């Protein structure tokens, strides 16, 4: 009997040492020491032995059991260690590797230039005002000295809104310029003296091409006070352009026509891109048409309830979209609003 115990021991030790993984080792342990295992079976059979053998055989089986358990423990520690080493070798993390860059959004060139324009005018004491993009004919036209019979209405390529007209202010339109907000509404709301700019979107019913869009941005300016002349407009614009283009530029006035100013003027600036040497942007003339402007017509002041004998001033309006196109040499206006990321990501 003791001999077969020796065989069993050899068999078990060999199996424990051969097991190459924790799972295999577990299996060996079950075969020998588990509930239905061979060693456990011997212990269970003890009760059938004669008393004189029970004691010594019992002790021998128990010793074997303890020895095998010890061996199992040490083997399983070794295998566990090996498994951890393997994992460390294969699944390591390089803490010095550079991180992955997340894509972030950024400011659209139109917004960026608008913010810059706002900042410069704020530094010169102008307040920023706003107004609705859907306007009534009163604010878009009448309040600007453009009555319904006036031929200038046809110049504006107006989008009319397909909904009930305003009870007292005429049909509803998409504003064709920022003048209704930057002049009429600002004057009616705040009175005189006043110094405001009004950046915003405008809309015109035009065929689109590289330089025409149905939607574009303007910046309106208005200054009303006592004793104001065109000299103040010239001074403000020289300073504005100097701060925007970071160089001294020249301006010149040419006669222009807008019903809400008298006299009406166009302002040109000397080309900041070639310093008047001649380039594509100024079409080799050295000058760039920059904006419409003029002395505010007394009718506009009167309509807004302002004493036109005491107060006078000027207004201007320039195309922010055009300014951005010049600055960044964008050759097609349609790029600015079509939402193509390949365009936007260049800025």
According to the binding rule CB under 6 A, does residue 315 interact with ligand PHE?
yes
DSSP label at residue 158: P
If binding means CB under 6 A, how many residues of this protein chain bind ligand PHE?
10
Cβ distance to ligand PHE smaller for residue 32 or 316: 316
Nearest to 29 by CA among 60, 62, 59, 73: 73
Residues paired with 128 in a beta bridge: 197
- Stretch near ligand PHE under the rule CB under 6 A, chosen from 77-85, 225-233, 273-281, 313-321: 313-321
| Positions 88 through 127 that interact with ligand PHE (CB under 6 A) | none
Cβ distance to ligand PHE smaller for residue 109 or 313: 313
- Stretch near ligand PHE under the rule CB under 6 A, chosen from 1-9, 50-58, 121-129, 290-298: 290-298
According to the binding rule CB under 6 A, does residue 187 interact with ligand PHE?
no
Q: How far is the CB of 179 from ligand PHE (least distance, A)?
A: 4
According to the binding rule CB under 6 A, does residue 173 interact with ligand PHE?
no
Q: How far is the CB of 347 from ligand PHE (least distance, A)?
A: 26
In a 3-state reduction of DSSP, which class is residue 114? helix
Cβ distance to ligand PHE smaller for residue 109 or 292: 292
Q: How far is the CB of 147 from ligand PHE (least distance, A)?
A: 16
According to the binding rule CB under 6 A, does residue 317 interact with ligand PHE?
yes
Cβ distance to ligand PHE smaller for residue 19 or 293: 293
Query: Alpha-carbon distance 7 to 342, whole Å?
Result: 79
* Buried/exposed code over 274-288 (b: 16+ C-beta within 10 A; e: otherwise): eebeeeeebeeebbb
Per-residue binding string, ligand PHE, 240-269, x by CB under 6 A, is ------------------x--x--------
CA distances from 224 to 191, 196, 200, 217, 232 (A): 9, 9, 21, 23, 11
Q: How far is the CB of 287 from ligand PHE (least distance, A)?
A: 18
Q: How far is the CB of 199 from ligand PHE (least distance, A)?
A: 13
Cβ distance to ligand PHE smaller for residue 179 or 270: 179
Residue of 179, 217, 270, 321 interacting with ligand PHE (CB under 6 A): 179
- Stretch near ligand PHE under the rule CB under 6 A, chosen from 81-89, 239-247, 287-295, 298-306: 287-295
Question: Across 39-171, where does the E strand assignment appear?
Answer: 127-128, 134-136
- 312 phi and psi angles, rounded to 5 deg: -145, 170
DSSP secondary structure, 305-329, as one string: T--TTT-EEEEEEEEHHHHHHHHTT
CB atoms within 10 A of CB 129: 21
Q: How far is the CB of 215 from ligand PHE (least distance, A)?
A: 14
DSSP secondary structure, 27-49, as one string: HHHHHHHSTTSHHHHHHHHGGGS
Cβ distance to ligand PHE smaller for residue 17 or 206: 206
- Is cis: bond before 263, omega within 30 of 0? yes
| Positions 33 through 72 that interact with ligand PHE (CB under 6 A) | none
| Helix (H) or strand (E) run with residue 18 in it | helix 2-18
In a 3-state reduction of DSSP, which class is residue 26? helix
Q: Which residues bind ligand PHE (CB under 6 A)?
A: 177, 179, 258, 261, 292-294, 315-317
């Amino acid at each position: 009997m003791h001999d077969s115990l020796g065989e069993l021991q050899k068999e078990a030790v060999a199996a424990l040492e051969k097991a190459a993984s924790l799972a295999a080792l577990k299996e060996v342990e079950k075969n020998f020491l588990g509930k239905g295992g061979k060693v456990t079976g011997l212990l269970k059979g003890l009760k059938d032995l004669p008393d004189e053998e029970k004691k010594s055989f019992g002790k021998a089986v128990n010793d074997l059991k303890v020895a095998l358990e010890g061996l199992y423990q040490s083997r399983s520690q070794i295998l566990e260690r090996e498994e951890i080493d393997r994992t460390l070798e294969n699944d390591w993390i390089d803490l010095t590797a550079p991180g992955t860059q997340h894509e972030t959004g950024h400011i659209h060139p139109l917004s960026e230039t608008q913010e810059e324009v706002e900042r410069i005018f704020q530094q010169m004491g102008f307040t920023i005002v706003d107004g609705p993009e859907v306007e009534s004919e009163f604010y878009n036209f009448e309040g600007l000295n453009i009555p319904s019979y006036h031929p200038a209405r046809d110049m504006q390529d107006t989008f009319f809104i397909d909904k009930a007209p305003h009870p007292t202010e005429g049909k509803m339109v998409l504003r064709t310029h920022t003048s209704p907000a930057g002049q009429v509404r600002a004057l009616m709301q705040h009175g005189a003296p006043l110094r405001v700019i009004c950046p915003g979107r405008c809309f015109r019913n035009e065929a689109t091409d590289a330089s025409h869009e149905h939607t574009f941005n303007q910046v309106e300016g208005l200054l009303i006070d006592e004793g104001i002349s065109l000299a103040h407009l010239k001074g403000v614009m020289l300073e504005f352009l100097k701060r925007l283009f970071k160089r001294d530029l020249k301006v010149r006035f040419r006669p222009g026509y807008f019903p809400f100013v008298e006299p009406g003027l166009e302002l040109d600036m000397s080309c900041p891109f070639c310093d008047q040497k001649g380039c594509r942007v100024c079409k080799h003339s050295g000058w760039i048409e920059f904006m419409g402007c003029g002395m505010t017509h007394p009718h506009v002041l009167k309509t807004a309830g302002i004493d036109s004998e005491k107060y006078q001033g000027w207004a201007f309006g320039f195309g922010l979209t055009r300014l951005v196109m010049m600055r960044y040499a964008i050759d097609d206006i349609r790029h600015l609003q079509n939402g193509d990321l390949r365009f936007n990501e260049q800025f």
